Amino acid sequence: MKRVVIVGMGFGGLRAARALAGKGLEVVLLDRQNYHLFQPLLYQVATAALEQESIAYPIRTMARRWRGTRFRLCEVTGADLEGRRVVTTDGAVDYDYLMLAAGCVTNFFGMESIERHAYDLKELDHAVDLRNRLFCSLELAAEEPAPERRRMLLTFVVVGGGPTGVEFAGALAELVRYLVPADYAELRGDVIRILLIEAGERLLPDLPKELQAYALDRLEEMGVEVLLATRVIGAEPGLVLLQDGTKIGAHTLFWAAGTCAVPLAAALNLPKANGGRIAVQPDLTVAGHPEVFVVGDMAYLEQAGQPLPMVAQVAMQGGEYAARAILKRERGEAVAPFSYWDKGIMAAIGRNAAVVYSFGIKLSGFFAWLVWLGLHIFYLIGFRNRLLVLLDWAYCYLFHERQIRLITRSGKESPCR
Ligand SMILES: Cc1cc2nc3c(=O)[nH]c(=O)nc-3n(C[C@H](O)[C@H](O)[C@H](O)COP(=O)(O)OP(=O)(O)OC[C@H]3O[C@@H](n4cnc5c(N)ncnc54)[C@H](O)[C@@H]3O)c2cc1C
């Protein structure tokens, strides 16, 4: 029986594994986490709207239903492409076909001070760390007598005007708007600043101008200060440095301004493109290795003169395509090139407010928000997760309450020190 090894059980790997199950091949799933993570809702864990368990799903629970599939928890560190073997922290694994679907990491563009001081959002632990930071800032400010330090503690800087930055800034503004008056009597006279900083001229650059303008207006109505055409170039403890020399006193810096391929991509001797992503052929294989597929955020491919975006739909469609391509090859059939079907893009800005651009249709406001909610529930994995998310959202919506606002410690020290 031929063996397909899939590295990474994110959106791309999951779709591929599902399509290959029970088709007469041995499928080996490798991931350094034992769960699939629904990254688009990470910001809701960070802002205490959702529990972390509700956006993660154990890989073994999925794999037990997929005939011929097994899972190994390990980190893949490299591959011997000629010998058809991946190298992991737990030994080598041979393959007949390899599918690389290990995603991306945050890109700090070499700015070490930002990497040291900023929070980012790619993993579940990142969301919990950021949530700890937000609530520690409020607790510290509530006890802080010095006005200037208090102002710094109550300033939150979000960098990056793409969907993640916009969604996080909106969710944070909403959290602060309802929570602080109710629970922090000590802070009632204070101004809480949320700054959203974007280097380009517009928020949500992939959306039509009307929807960009809607998002900007809505965020400003919610009290977010949006700074466009402004570049963050460094950070120090309690300070964010702008290119024009301005220094902003801020206790929390959240960086959502770029992504690049995972370190595994750099460890492989394969051609690279923008952001260190692996340059693939139109059939998602790498040149000279028709048995090696790369899908999702890790792959770089242009269609109609544009690079495919690093979004879940590209990964899901790529994973399904690569699985079908392997099955066709096994049957000796020809494989057509991958063609991405763009179903659209959307972002939630806050309660009753979202933007959706799909098949030329532009939606904003309440209806767009309902579409956003419905699609996120639809794409979540697992009935229990869907139910938990629906319950948490209904609770937040009806009672303006966030009961998951916990400050947790991973080591002996309190994160508020
Ligand atoms: C905060 C946030 C919000 C987002 N919002 C949206 C959105 O609203 N809409 C949208 O379409 N997209 C969104 N995205 C992007 C979307 O999540 C990604 O495009 C998608 O997850 C890419 O899928 P993938 O399969 O390529 O990789 P991933 O889903 O990232 O999965 C990669 C997997 O590989 C594993 N892995 C990594 N390195 C190794 C290794 N060396 N060894 C073993 N395993 C490894 C990881 O543990 C992970 O399970 C968002 C992303 C983030 C971070």
Q: What is the mean pLDDT of the chain?
A: 96
- Nearest ligand 1 atom, CA 311: 19
Nearest CA to ligand 1 atom 27: 103
Ligand 1 neighbourhood includes 12 CB (under 6 angstroms): yes
Helix (H) / strand (E) containing 239: strand 239-242
In whole angstroms, give the CA distance from residue 307 to residue 19: 25
Please tell me the distance from the alpha carbon of residue 309 to that of residue 402, in angstroms, as a whole number: 33
Q: How far is the CA of 213 from the centre of ligand 1 (A)?
A: 28
Token code pair at residue 78: 């490299």
* Atom number, ligand 1, closest to the C-alpha of residue 36: 49
Rounded to an integer, the average pLDDT of 269-282 is 96
User: Is residue 221 annotated as part of the catalytic site, yes or no?
Assistant: no
- Give the model's pLDDT for residue 134: 96
- Give the closest residue (by CA) to ligand 1 atom 19: 311
Share of the chain above pLDDT 90, in %: 94
Catalytic hit among 144, 167, 198, 320: 167
Q: How far is the CA of 143 from the centre of ligand 1 (A)?
A: 39
Mutate which of 5, 11, 340 for ligand 1? The one with the most ligand atoms within 8 Å of its CB, which is 11
Q: What's the pLDDT band for 155 if we cut at 50, 70, 90? A: very high
Please work out whether the CB of residue 294 comes within 6 Å of at least one atom of ligand 1: no
> Which runs of E-coded beta strand occur in 59-186?
69-73, 76-80, 85-88, 91-94, 97-100, 104-106, 155-159
In angstroms, the CA 107 to CA 116 distance is 13
The yes-or-no verdict on residue 412 having pLDDT over 80 is no
Calculate how far, in angstroms, residue 384's C-alpha sits from the geometric centre of ligand 1: 21
Per the CB < 8 A criterion, the answer to whether 312 and 163 are in contact is no
> Does any ligand 1 atom lie closer than 6 A to the CB of residue 40?
yes
**Minimal-distance CA residue to ligand 1 atom 26:** 296
Determine if ligand 1 sits within 6 Å of the CB of residue 264.
yes
Tens of pLDDT along 180-220? 999 999 998 899 999 999 999 999 999 999 999 999 999 99
From ligand 1's centre to the CA of 16, what distance in Å? 14
310 touches ligand 1 (CB under 6 Å)? yes
Q: Report the SS3 class of residue 294.
A: strand
Confidence class for position 308, pLDDT limits 50, 70, 90:
very high
**Per-residue confidence (pLDDT) for residue 342, from 0 to 100:** 96
With bands split at pLDDT 50, 70 and 90, how would you rate the model's confidence at 400?
A: confident
pLDDT more than 70, % of the chain: 99
Measured in Å, residue 406 CA sits from the centre of ligand 1 at 25
**Ligand 1 atom with the shortest distance to the CA of 38:** 17
How does pLDDT run across 36-49, given as a tens digit for each residue?
999 999 999 999 99
Say if residue 402's pLDDT is above 90.
no
Ligand 1 centre to CA of 298 (Å) is 9
**Ligand 1: which residue has its CA nearest to atom 3?**
40
* Non-local CB neighbours of 304 within 8 Å, separated by 6+ positions: none
Amino acid at residue number 407: I
Give the mean model confidence (pLDDT) for residues 291-300.
98
Residue whose CA is at the smallest distance from ligand 1 atom 37: 102
Which of the listed residues 39, 60, 73, 340 should we mutate to test ligand 1's pocket, taking the one with most ligand atoms within 8 A of CB?
Answer: 39
Determine contact, residues 316/15, Cβ cutoff 8 Å.
yes
Collapsing DSSP to helix, strand or coil, 175 comes out as: helix
Res. 414: pLDDT tops 80: no
Give the pLDDT mean for 129-150.
96
pLDDT for residue 415: 81
Own/partner pairs for 279-283, CB < 8 Å, 24+ apart?
282/337, 282/338, 283/325, 283/335, 283/336, 283/337, 283/338
What would the pLDDT profile of 229-260 be if each residue is shown by its tens digit? 999 999 999 999 999 999 999 999 999 999 99
Rounded to the nearest whole angstrom, what is the distance from the C-alpha of residue 190 to the centroid of ligand 1?
Answer: 38
pLDDT band at 409 (very low <50, low <70, confident <90, very high): confident
Q: Is 413 a residue whose pLDDT tops 90?
A: no
**pLDDT level of residue 401 (50, 70, 90 thresholds):** confident
In 107-198, beta strands by DSSP E: 155-159, 193-197
Q: Is 163 in the pocket of ligand 1 (CB under 6 A)?
A: yes
- For 386-404, what is the mean pLDDT? 91
pLDDT at 30: 98
pLDDT of residue 83: 97
pLDDT tens column, 69-101: 999 999 999 999 999 999 999 999 999 999 999
Q: Is the pLDDT of residue 374 over 80?
A: yes
Average pLDDT of the segment spanning 351-361: 96
State both tokens at 257: 């301004």
Q: Residue 88 CA: which ligand 1 atom is closest?
A: 42
Is residue 411 scored above 80 in pLDDT? no
Out of 311, 358, 380, mutate this one to test ligand 1's pocket (max ligand atoms within 8 Å of CB): namely 311
